Amino acid sequence: MADRRQLGSGRRPEFDRGPAVNAPSTTPTGDRTEPGADATARVEVLGATGLVQYFVGSRNWTDRLRHVKVPVVKAVDGVDLSLMEGETLGLVGESGCGKSTLSRCLMGLHRPTAGEIRYRGVPVQDGLTPAQRRTTQMIFQDPYSSLNPRMKVGQMLGELLRFHRVVPRHRVDERSRELMSLVGLPADALGRTPRQFSGGQRQRIGIARALALEPTVLIADEAVSALDVSVQATIINLLLDLKEQLGLSMVFVSHNMAVVRQISDRIAVMYRGRIVETGPAERLFSDPAHPYTQLLLGSVPRMLTSPHAAEVEGTADPLAVVDGAPDADESPFAAHLVEGEGGGCRFRPRCPVAIAACAVEPALLTLPGEADRAAACWHVTERSVPAVAEPGVTS
């Protein structure tokens, strides 16, 4: 694997970040809270409160004759989230839980059904402004389809730089070469089309394209899932290197728990359109609070002799399987149906520790003694306060 220090070598563009912005406190009112550091210590660059995104399905003529209700999918349902400056937030969950939809709402590619999106503490009413879009860029999952196969790399980057007037016209070629160097590609790559590159190289080009507009926020939607494992490692190291060099904030969407653990400072776990647990990455992996998070980590294949095997010991059996289906309804929209869904915790039908109180879904409850962690589970109140080692005392 390539050395991380070499991936971003070369002349680096001097990106003007603009004056610092002091955002107001971002803690939402009511019971639903997003734990994290004090807002006076760090600036929230991107956030959401009560974010909802529904998609209306379609009916054929027989459904209309039988007066079948139009299926409505709750892709995102009441999400509270904050991305702090300089932080990498990992967004994890099973396929179909709403991760990509949430990231596209934050990016402004979807207009939310309800809720609020904030950019640097300021509510965004009608989508991100052009200036805000420039500073919030997305890295897409599939490098094979996200790049124009008929355009050379230099044409793609040059078009962006000229249209948005990032640099004077006489410096477009120079800046394009700088971007290639920044992502670890040679300057002659500018004269080739995407089909002449491997999958990992195409994803590097996608990253360079996202960096062309000098963003402060990157949203990576399954950016490494289509790549080989060895190539994934180099792309992850590249993203870590770029974050350090350019001071980026990042939302990293993935279903690969090992990758998320490597790159994230904080993690939010999604299940059926809602956030069920948030917290610092290492604490969430070593001591998951929500039953779904415990089973999700327990289902990850791992060698029992690995250094991290003991950290999840007792939380779930190796290759744990979550019994039951997301919903009794067998329609293709069963996982997120509005009609006939019932109340209470959405994980209750599959939860091994469900109790009567789970008929009422809890808000994100702060864990005892851990202000930076929260889980949407009534069992959180039964957890003991973590022991704090006294100075000078070792176990």
Question: Average pLDDT in the 264-283 region?
Answer: 93
Contact 83, 45 (CB under 8 A): yes
Question: Does the pLDDT at position 179 exceed 50?
Answer: yes
- Say how many CA atoms lie within 13 Å of 380 toward its Cβ: 26
Pick 298 or 100 by higher pLDDT.
100
315 is in which domain, residue-wise? 4-382
- pLDDT at 390 (0 to 100): 47
DSSP H or E segment with residue 99: helix 99-107
- pLDDT at 303 (0 to 100): 63
Question: Does the pLDDT at position 306 exceed 80?
Answer: no
- pLDDT at 1 (0 to 100): 42
Q: Give 325-378 pLDDT, tens digit per residue.
A: 444 343 333 444 444 455 688 888 888 888 888 888 777 888 888 888 999 998
Within a domain: residue 43?
A: yes
Q: Give 105-130 pLDDT, tens digit per residue.
A: 998 888 899 999 999 888 887 777 78
Q: What is the C-alpha to C-alpha distance for residues 180 and 210, in angstroms, rounded to an integer? A: 12
Within a domain: residue 395?
A: no
Q: Where residue 273 sits, what CATH number does that domain have?
A: 3.40.50.300
Q: What is the C-alpha to C-alpha distance for residues 133 and 308, in angstroms, rounded to an integer? A: 39
Question: Average pLDDT in the 36-43 region?
Answer: 54
- pLDDT at 41 (0 to 100): 60
Percent with pLDDT over 70 in the chain: 76
Within a domain: residue 94?
A: yes
Pick 136 or 31 by higher pLDDT.
136
Measuring CA to CA, which residue among 106, 130, 109, 110 is closest to residue 119? 106
Q: What is the C-alpha to C-alpha distance for residues 186 and 166, in angstroms, rounded to an integer? A: 22
Within a domain: residue 390?
A: no
User: Measured in Å, how far apart are the chain's first and last C-alpha atoms?
Assistant: 36
- pLDDT at 9 (0 to 100): 38
Query: Strand, helix or coil at 302?
Result: coil
Within a domain: residue 388?
A: no
- pLDDT at 393 (0 to 100): 47
Binning pLDDT at 50, 70 and 90, where does residue 307 land? low
Fill in the amino acid letter for 5: R
Within a domain: residue 394?
A: no
Question: Does the pLDDT at position 51 exceed 70?
Answer: yes
Distance of CA 39 to the CA centre of its chain: 21
- pLDDT at 305 (0 to 100): 57
Q: How many domains does the chain have?
A: 1
Percent with pLDDT over 90 in the chain: 43
Binning pLDDT at 50, 70 and 90, where does residue 8 land? very low
Q: Maximum Cα–Cα distance for the chain, whole Å? A: 76
Within a domain: residue 188?
A: yes
Strand partners, 271: 274
Within a domain: residue 292?
A: yes
